[in-house]
């Protein structure tokens, strides 16, 4: 395992780090896929989170790719689990404090949960933008 054992991480973080859920990518060109790419220059963490939404507005799939520490990977892994099955509006209510609490993140790692919340919001914003009719299409009608 690549975890630095000199830093004590909660077991939830270690579990998500060693067995990450929903790693990978969805088709970012698809109209029903929203992509959020966020980074934290202070620590160098970069998080890509994608959601796939069905015609009823429910998130049916989520994927992530994260370059960062174990807590960043765990935060994005948990975020993908939590958004699945929720509506776009419900997913907007996920807070970094909830992610941090679930993973028992120490104060020094709270920015990882904030990044995950930002990634969810960015993916939802991208999805919503894709749902708006394009100007050319609107003028044709």
- Residue 64: which of 138, 115, 131 has the closest Cα? 115
- Which one of 14, 40, 43, 114 is the catalytic residue? 43
Contact 103, 66 (CB under 8 A): no
- Which one of 47, 112, 116, 119 is the catalytic residue? 112
Q: Say if strands 33-40 and 45-53 run parallel, antiparallel, or are unpaired.
A: antiparallel
- Dmax (CA) for the chain in angstroms is 63
Is residue 69 annotated as a catalytic residue, yes or no? no
Is residue 43 annotated as a catalytic residue, yes or no? yes
Contact 87, 77 (CB under 8 A): no
Task: Just list the catalytic residues.
Answer: 43, 112
């Amino acid at each position: 395992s690549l975890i630095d054992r000199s830093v004590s991480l909660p077991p939830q973080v270690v579990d998500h780090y060693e067995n990450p859920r929903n790693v990978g990518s969805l088709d970012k060109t698809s109209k029903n896929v929203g992509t959020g790419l966020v980074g934290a220059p202070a620590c160098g963490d970069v998080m890509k989170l994608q959601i796939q939404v069905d015609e009823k507005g429910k998130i049916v799939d989520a994927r992530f790719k994260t370059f960062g520490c174990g807590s960043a990977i765990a935060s994005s892994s948990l975020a993908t689990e939590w958004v699945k099955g929720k509506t776009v509006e419900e997913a907007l209510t996920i807070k970094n404090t909830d992610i941090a609490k679930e993973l028992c993140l120490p104060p020094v790692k709270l920015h990882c949960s904030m990044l995950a919340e930002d990634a969810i919001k960015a993916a939802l914003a991208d999805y919503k933008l894709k749902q708006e009719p394009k100007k050319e299409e609107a003028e044709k009608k």
